[in-house]
Structure 1
Amino acid sequence: MTVSLEQLRRCHIAVDLGAARTRVFVKGAGLVVDEPSVCAVNTRTGALIAVGEFAERMTGRTPGYIRVVRPVSGGTVVDIEMCRRMLGHLLDDKLRRTLRRKPRLRAAACVPHDADPLAQRAATETLIGLGARRVELVDTLIAAAVGCGLPVERPEATMIIVCGAATTQVAVLSMGSIVTADRIPVGGDAIDHAVVQHLRQQHELMLPSQSVRPLQLALSGNGLTPHGPESTEIHGRDVATGLARSVQVQTAAVRDAIHTPLTAVLDGIGRVLRDCPPDLVADLADRGIMMVGGSARLPGLDQMLRDATGMPVHIAERPDVCAILGLGAMLEGRIEPMTLNPLAD
């Protein structure tokens, strides 16, 4: 999966197929698509009814013959045909005509770190189905680090955590490459599920829809930090009666509920640091950790990482789009590799 910056500069579009959202960057036009990776399908006819934001709003509100599906799971395409149809509908007619006029359309795509050959092939086949003649694959960690402005090309350590919906990726980068990395199968969805289970078991309350992010409902203000609100009111459906009901949820109890999935993330960070050379770890003590990804905005998560690692933790300015913006910067030639001058004899 080694691809040069020169090869990326020849690409016309960049795609980030995430479990939560799909993003498309077109050279010269910028970010043109940022929609949920969701499709609504008529199971009787096979017709695609809706994609993106509208399809996500249909979750839990459809009759039996309409199924809401997610063709991407954990950053890996699990349904190539459905993902290709979804991408085709997310791109507007004008953009499709523009891309169709390019006889040798080249595309670049983000893939998770250490993705197996099957996952790489699925991403390639999806873009070839859209008309791409050649597809370049870039590690999400590298693209995200470039997108949030980390000096990845220098001989200095930079640590990045990509907090996705289904996975969390942790890496230490130096001289434009990954020194050590780990992918943890725990993401924002697992944290949300822990809160949903807590509300069901402790309060006998079900939330209205799977598409609602419970953490955004359950927390306000400073969220999970000790300085946040002690409790908040949540509206949902009673498990026994099925009637609407409101309960007061203690923030401390929510912190305990998400402790288990967050422990797995902390263990992954520990493994990466243990495998990292001491000189690079010394750099990280001053520079700290950069968090990107949609789940990086989880209230109080950065403070939990500071307490656990003892290092500074920063959240990128636009954490959810860092990967696609980094890949777009490579396409447009805004990233220059560090030049190494060999010593003369």
Structure 2
Amino acid sequence: MTISLAQLRRCSAAVDLGAARTRVYVKNQGLVVDEPTVAAVNTRTGSMLAVGAQAELMDGRTPDYIRVVRPVSNGTVVDIDMAQRLLRHLVGDKLRKTWRRRPTMRAAVCLPYGSEPLAQRAAVETLTGLGARRVELVDTLVAAAVGCGLPVEQPEATMIVVCGAGTTQVAVLSLGSIVAAETVPVGGNAIDHAVIQHLRLHHELMLPNQSVRPLHLMLSGDGELTPGSTEVHGRDVVSGLARSVHVDTERVRRAIITPLTAILDGIGAVLRRCPPDLVADLGERGIMLAGGSALIPGLEPMIHEATSMPVHIADQPGTCAVQGLGAMIEGKVQPLHLDPMAP
């Protein structure tokens, strides 16, 4: 993947194709697109009916001839044609025509750590379909670390945990490169699934996917601000009728501990592969949490208890990767020059 800042400065756009949200950063304009990576398609005619937030509202509420599509899974484009159509509608005609007038337009895109060549090719083909003549690939971990304001280019350790919808990436960086990294197949979707399964098994209630996020906000409260139980609306498993139940928040917290433990295992594996000097740096600097699922209730205190290191959450965890990539293409990141010594 691209590690040259000089090549990134030639790009005019930065794209973060996530499983949950798609973000586009245009040089000298900032973040212009931040929408869910969802599209609604009419299967009879093949026409696109809605994209982004409007299409996400249709999920689970459509007739048979309308299909809600998610063209990106775990940070990898699984449907190139649909991803191109989604981006084409999100960026708008005016911005797309501006790109096409530039014969040497370049774009940069974030990809998960250790992406397979097929995943890299799918991302390149998706952006070339929008008019990009060249596509630069950047690790999401590096871009997110830059977006969080970490001193990535310095000879000291920085640790970042990027919690996405499908996966969680953990890495220790120094001198602008990844020293050790691990990808855990657990993310926000796994936490949502654990909550849904808990309600199904213990309350015989089927919960819509869009009702899980408000439940997360309720779980993230502290102390007396959080009620002992909350009312949840769903469908009864046996009768199929609408039903409401009062859910114990503490039991739901215990239900999501199992998937969160996998993230702790990934952090431990990365720390064991790091040199002692870098681990000593992390004892003072701590761990930075980024990604759209960084605000999962219980994640921050659990990591602090397991590692005894300070844990920080980025100011805007969801947009760290695209903001960091935007800072790279605008030349705001200065590399550390290491000139070879004379013989």
Class of the TM-score when normalised by the shorter of the 2 chains: over 0.9
Q: Is the 8 A contact 1:72 1:78 kept in 2?
A: yes
Q: Is the 8 A contact 2:219 2:253 kept in 1?
A: no
| TM-aligned CA deviation for residue 307 of structure 1 | 1.0
- 1:65 maps to which residue? 65
Q: Which whole-Å CA distance do the structure 2 matches of 1:223 and 1:203 have between them?
A: 23
- Deviations along 1:243-279, one digit per CA (max 9) or x if unpaired, are 2222111122112211111111111111000001111
Q: Which whole-Å CA distance do the structure 2 matches of 1:55 and 1:151 have between them?
A: 38
One-letter amino acid of the counterpart of residue 319, structure 1: P
One-letter amino acid of the counterpart of residue 307, structure 1: E
Q: Is the 8 A contact 1:225 1:300 kept in 2?
A: no
| TM-aligned CA deviation for residue 48 of structure 1 | 1.0
Answering whether residue 172 of structure 2 is matched by residue 150 of structure 1, we say: no
One-letter amino acid of the counterpart of residue 180, structure 1: A
- Deviations along 1:271-330, one digit per CA (max 9) or x if unpaired, are 000001111001111111000001001122111111111111000000000000000000
Q: Is the 8 A contact 2:219 2:249 kept in 1?
A: no
Q: Which runs of 5+ in 2 are unaligned?
A: none
Equivalent position to 1:266, from 264, 282, 302: 264
Q: Is the 8 A contact 2:289 2:313 kept in 1?
A: yes
Q: Which runs of 5+ in 1 are unaligned?
A: none
Give runs of ≥4 in structure 1 deviating > 3 Å.
221-229, 341-345
Secondary structure, aligned partner of 1:284: helix
Percent sequence identity is 69
One-letter amino acid of the counterpart of residue 128, structure 1: T
- 1:329 maps to which residue? 327
Q: Which whole-Å CA distance do the structure 1 matches of 2:185 and 2:169 have between them?
A: 9
TM-score by length of 2: 0.97
State the Cα RMSD in Å: 1.5
| TM-aligned CA deviation for residue 213 of structure 1 | 4.9
CA shift in 2, pair 1:225/1:17, >3 Å: farther
One-letter amino acid of the counterpart of residue 204, structure 1: E
Q: Which whole-Å CA distance do the structure 1 matches of 2:92 and 2:124 have between them?
A: 21
- 2:86 maps to which residue? 86
- 1:292 maps to which residue? 290
| TM-aligned CA deviation for residue 221 of structure 1 | 6.6
| TM-aligned CA deviation for residue 135 of structure 1 | 0.4
Q: Is the 8 A contact 1:14 1:108 kept in 2?
A: yes
One-letter amino acid of the counterpart of residue 288, structure 1: G
- Length, aligned pairs only: 343
- 2:339 maps to which residue? 341
| TM-aligned CA deviation for residue 216 of structure 1 | 2.5
- Deviations along 1:121-170, one digit per CA (max 9) or x if unpaired, are 00001001111110000000000000010000001000000000000000
Q: Is the 8 A contact 2:289 2:312 kept in 1?
A: yes
One-letter amino acid of the counterpart of residue 100, structure 1: R
Secondary structure, aligned partner of 1:295: coil
